[in-house]
Structure 1
């Protein structure tokens, strides 16, 4: 073992016994729940019987307590005693989510619920942001953690060339200045998962050789060793193993601890700072192909999040008007149902087919819960005699179109948090006609013979050509990563038929039909965006379908993409890694809804994957509509886009996404005129629409929000009868 030079001070080792618990993955939840019962049984036995075994970390998610006690309710007193003493560490999250595919509010509610569950069982929520297996981390996570009083963050995936700049222990800073101390596991949460003392000694020496210099540069004198793995049982002889290492390596100490103990031992002074996303794959795979795996799940989840937030806002407005308490516990039930779909192996779509079929059932159950909450909230308003009600669930004045099947569309304007009643007229059946173009007050759209579109933005005179080019290409990857076929051509539509489905008033629709894809392009009077509804009957396996939007001439060099509590700015051409990464950088990226580069913007509903591609003709956006594959993971060496395997080689026929799919997205021709705040508002306006009620309601806004802020939620307080209004400043400070 090296003891000289800069590594001489690294003599104290913190060994954290733990298990990382994927609730569902290559097996369904029920199989892993029964395995969890065995693992926790053994943990309880060891902690109760061996005073030399001081503690165990039961992962970073509190839901495992509920899962275990559903099987072993008789062990609740034993569990409570160990939680109360601090010997069993759990939380602070409810589940370990994918942090990039879910919205900002779900991340906040995940921590709120996780801490509440910990306290319900007598535990002190772990004071560490422990997210060991998430496939990358968002820009604003330090601010979210700091908002809960959490000042540290432990992770395995996401470090890229920041390793050379800030090392493995650093201050991770959000744009507002909030900070957490970030600790890269060395290099993963299984770095001490070894068979015996010989292997343990070799692993210690390897860890010091590889990461000791980075620790020393940061002035960190203690080394974190993680004795655990996915679904790992407790190592009963860990105290003896630590004692043997101390005997073999004189002058060292190996203490069995919790993550919080290690964090407390590291002095915060002098650590370098970093601001930005953590999406690199220098040390560990980040597997961002999950952004497009089983995209039907992403669309369903996006709708579920929208519905829950909209109805929660409606419930808060109803409580405010009626002077009644907000039904916090009822909405907590709904949030619990949603969050159970957000573990990284679940929402990412990279599990066995049974898992994702179960998720569809959970989403159906959630919709029933939300619908019941919606009906109850509407009872807080006085109904009028006829027609239907329209509620603006956002705090900004909005203009939109109400469309109800069988009735004429109605253009309306509403104040923020306002409502009105509209009378409906039976629809005059539109008469489709031949044609290649539609036009509104602000926009004109014309289809070319190959099915691509030209959009004219009348106010600016700017013209975008070749839009919505459909590209289909083979994919020999898996649920974790796309992998192209070397030399395989990209298929593009060569011809299309068009017709005008509706030409006003209010709504204008152009149908563009290729042999396999039908798109309805929509314009609305008074609204400056082009909307798309695209339908595909997919009967092809192992491929990726994307819609391509050339940006046109622009001097812009940064892509703006919607993230949690922020619009993230990313370079159009990412920097080339300075060293070899475990997984090559993926050219695709993620968005929660909005994208913009120069004048062209895109808004999406549950389509999180895009690529900003630089070409000789200029930059273009590639929006993924489908990615269809049939394996959880291909083995090591099988893919050029990911050298290492990422999981079991389990067949997933449902991952081929056969059948009919419908996609919704929109184009903004004037995105460069929108600052970050107003681009995010435009995204909300498109995604949320108006809430349409079967019973007419009419009220003045009971609450007003002023200033250039972005709305996040209006909800009941967790502790009390008040309401919480959450908004954020999206502008650079």
Structure 2
């Protein structure tokens, strides 16, 4: 249902819960699903009932936290998972005790670093519902060899060695719902429930969960338990809570619990219900999420933190609001794309709201920092020089093309003046000619587009709005050698003599009709639009890249299912229209146009099978005989300093019930591959376990997937493209899903989702990064991380300042380490910077800041954990490290 429809049901449920607590002293406790947002949504309607909620929490009847929401772990970033814990703890602490339980009841698989994250938050136990097959055939423990655990209890360990007690909801999280009060019905109920619970339990403590999705409160639970006690005098039935249950369980755990390491993704199942294809349902939602997460964690927070060091107040409240608004889109049935269409109408609004806040904060921070940058180096060009600053907040030194719009010769006016006259005045005295210089006075190759005179306005903090007219230009150029967390200054110099004075341009990147190259890569296009990539450093050639593959899909939002006998339609050998669209010294771009004739939809049988709830594996529908054109426009770009080929794909989708992927042969035969996940690059098997029956072996990625061997490797990175498959072919082909079109939700009913067909214009951004394998893959991974983070610009004026025109706020080094985030701690007021180790070996992190600071080790909850770091901090293999930075 849409959000507000559920909201109404939530209010009814919590009202009933409060009434039950008040009327039945034997009704002991209720677990609010591990989330604080439940209370937030309730108090939005009934703020006057806050004291009642607080009293119930203080009495231990309501358990709040540890999360703000129940997220999907694989489709939300590492920082989003951390903010979820931080905000959940913060909100829960205002009501009473915080539930210290790693609660993942229905996540579609569990991240490998969960144990390390939980341990850093002071949580030693986790419960989860998916990802592990606990027992062998017919629950026989002796048949469990090679599986994750013979019990519902196990030790769950992260790659760094951190571990928690893991408890699987082996009989699901509703195994104690709707307990009968009638003795005869209760006897039949308990005989089954107790037997099933005993089959999995490692102790005599049996966990039964009295609730489920959309489940009302069982108001006669106390009576139902009284009946159960009479029927089974040898059993003690306790209306308990997780704290008491876990304490009792730990006192009796056997010593032979299985140790399970890393991700729990259901790999020892038949592969149909791992639900990984939710990673490609409604790709547009994943793309908005990636943009939003990146904006907050890689742009808005770092810029706000750096601005705070220069005297600007840190916007804790607004950033928390932006994060909360974003995280309201992170519950697994939301971000996974497996809900009704109305859910996504509201999600798009939430993304827009969060990004408006994040963009405003980033803009204000960049503007403030720019006011502290010494731009007086441009004064020699006259008072018409237009300085601006480029910010790199990716955490890695970089060079890259950037586009910025600048304005000059602003003419402010008031209500008594004629705007037309002001417009003409500015137009008459300005022009679009000039040149670009850096802080050293070197001229920069630039593409300048004169946008003419346009209206603008300022909203000063001390006076009424200030409208103006100004000449505007759009500048595109390559910003080189940008510091890892720093800035570089440039200036546009208006000049009618710019072309005469312009120095000869560098060698262009286009080297032939269908080729382009820089010092690292050479790209050659074929007539069908595929291309080869030569890594000039290693000498390795990657051929046949960029073929598009389209197949039918008669599954649902949860699960991809190719029709029986369906044959892929590909762009291989199909003549493409190829045009050179950009040819500058800093970037070259070819545009490739494909038109594939594909079926308009599945045939009419699919609708009948959906309406009658034919299980997707039993469906006989095939693709329609009617064909429609699938127009694909691909822009491949090579930048002068880049180690990657950047690709932008536009898809005009007029077809239903299908999936479109791009194929990238790595030329590497390997039993394993590597996927960017939450605070790790996870090693995964390319060939699934023997019990895997699903022909498809799609998997999740955050930013990239990598296949490599000796001397050769290929990394494919995407923005909001979260599903890939490494094909079991001779070429080690990486298949990245760009679009999946389906028309139903799936699961337990008939819910039509026409918007999930994703008709109309769809876009995808991805890149390809070759490397030499071994430790050079970490350079490719950093390139992939940089790819996702845009460069930020801010125009300023000519002034002296405390910051040099090129400046690095924080320098760091560490083999195999990845930068995650820089922000300000609300509790201590200190800077908090986070890294994680991608390597399966220890490393060291060294940090240099631009001020007089003290460094200390912290954790994800931003608590001081050890004393001052003098030179470097040891980082364990796969370790997540947070460093506090305070001023002396």
TM-score (norm 1): 0.89
- 1:246 is paired with a residue whose SS is helix
Tell me which residue corresponds to 1:100: 74
Q: Retained in 1: the 8 A contact 2:744–2:750?
A: yes
| 1:250-269 correspondence runs (5 A) | 250-267=233-250
Tell me which residue corresponds to 1:513: 593
Q: Retained in 1: the 8 A contact 2:509–2:516?
A: no
Candidates 152, 155, 169, aligned match of 2:125: 152
Q: Answer yes or no: is 1:711 the counterpart of 2:819.
A: yes
- For 2:837 and 2:389, the matched residues in 1 are separated by 31
Tell me which residue corresponds to 1:670: 771
Tell me which residue corresponds to 2:881: none
Q: Answer yes or no: is 1:546 the counterpart of 2:661.
A: yes
Instruction: Report Cα offsets for 1:433-480 as digits up to 9, x if no partner.
Output: 993222222222222222211111222221111111101111111111
Candidates 735, 739, 749, aligned match of 1:648: 749
- For 1:630 and 1:207, the matched residues in 2 are separated by 37
Tell me which residue corresponds to 1:280: 266
Tell me which residue corresponds to 1:448: 526
CA 226–675 in structure 1, closer or farther in 2 if over 3 Å, else same: farther
Instruction: Report Cα offsets for 1:269-295 as digits up to 9, x if no partner.
Output: 623211021111759943221100000
- CA offset at residue 663 of structure 1? 0.8
Alignment length (residue pairs) = 684
| 1:543-622 correspondence runs (5 A) | 543-552=658-667, 554-577=668-691, 587-598=697-708, 599-615=713-729, 617-622=730-735
- For 1:443 and 1:370, the matched residues in 2 are separated by 36
- For 2:187 and 2:487, the matched residues in 1 are separated by 68
- CA offset at residue 404 of structure 1? 4.0
CA 535–35 in structure 1, closer or farther in 2 if over 3 Å, else same: same
- For 2:832 and 2:688, the matched residues in 1 are separated by 39
| 1:93-172 correspondence runs (5 A) | 93-120=67-94, 122-160=95-133, 164=144, 165-166=148-149, 167-172=151-156
Instruction: Report Cα offsets for 1:621-643 as digits up to 9, x if no partner.
Output: 1100000111111xxxxxxxxxx
- For 1:425 and 1:390, the matched residues in 2 are separated by 17
Instruction: Report Cα offsets for 1:699-723 as digits up to 9, x if no partner.
Output: 5223222323211111111313211
- CA offset at residue 352 of structure 1? 1.1
Candidates 139, 144, 169, aligned match of 1:185: 169
Candidates 484, 493, 499, aligned match of 1:416: 484
- For 1:373 and 1:93, the matched residues in 2 are separated by 25
Tell me which residue corresponds to 1:522: 637
Tell me which residue corresponds to 1:20: none
- For 2:696 and 2:185, the matched residues in 1 are separated by 34
Q: Retained in 2: the 8 A contact 1:83–1:123?
A: yes
Candidates 223, 227, 236, aligned match of 2:210: 227
- CA offset at residue 213 of structure 1? 4.2
- For 2:511 and 2:396, the matched residues in 1 are separated by 38
Moved more, 132-141 or 241-250: 241-250
| 1:491-502 correspondence runs (5 A) | 491-493=569-571, 494-502=574-582
Moved more, 692-701 or 85-94: 692-701
The higher radius of gyration belongs to 2
Instruction: Report Cα offsets for 1:75-107 as digits up to 9, x if no partner.
Output: 222211101111111221000111110100000
CA 676–41 in structure 1, closer or farther in 2 if over 3 Å, else same: farther
Candidates 507, 526, 533, aligned match of 2:648: 533
CA 266–128 in structure 1, closer or farther in 2 if over 3 Å, else same: same
Q: Answer yes or no: is 1:372 the counterpart of 2:360.
A: yes
- 1:255 is paired with a residue whose SS is coil
Candidates 503, 513, 516, aligned match of 1:438: 516
CA 260–524 in structure 1, closer or farther in 2 if over 3 Å, else same: same
Tell me which residue corresponds to 2:621: none
Unpaired segments ≥5 residues, structure 1: 1-26, 634-645
Greater per-residue strand proportion: 2
Moved more, 560-569 or 502-511: 502-511
- For 2:43 and 2:169, the matched residues in 1 are separated by 30
- For 1:432 and 1:422, the matched residues in 2 are separated by 27
Instruction: Report Cα offsets for 1:297-340 as digits up to 9, x if no partner.
Output: 10111011111121110111111233x55332221111111111
| 1:293-372 correspondence runs (5 A) | 293-309=281-297, 310-322=299-311, 325-372=313-360
Moved more, 46-55 or 370-379: 370-379
Tell me which residue corresponds to 2:192: 206
- CA offset at residue 123 of structure 1? 2.4
Instruction: Report Cα offsets for 1:376-420 as digits up to 9, x if no partner.
Output: 213432434623211111333222222347334224111221101
- For 1:710 and 1:622, the matched residues in 2 are separated by 25
- For 1:376 and 1:466, the matched residues in 2 are separated by 45
- CA offset at residue 531 of structure 1? 0.9
Tell me which residue corresponds to 1:13: none
Q: Retained in 2: the 8 A contact 1:529–1:667?
A: yes
Tell me which residue corresponds to 1:50: 24
Instruction: Report Cα offsets for 1:121-142 as digits up to 9, x if no partner.
Output: x221211111211111110011
- 2:319 is paired with a residue whose SS is helix
- For 1:611 and 1:231, the matched residues in 2 are separated by 34
- 1:478 is paired with a residue whose SS is coil
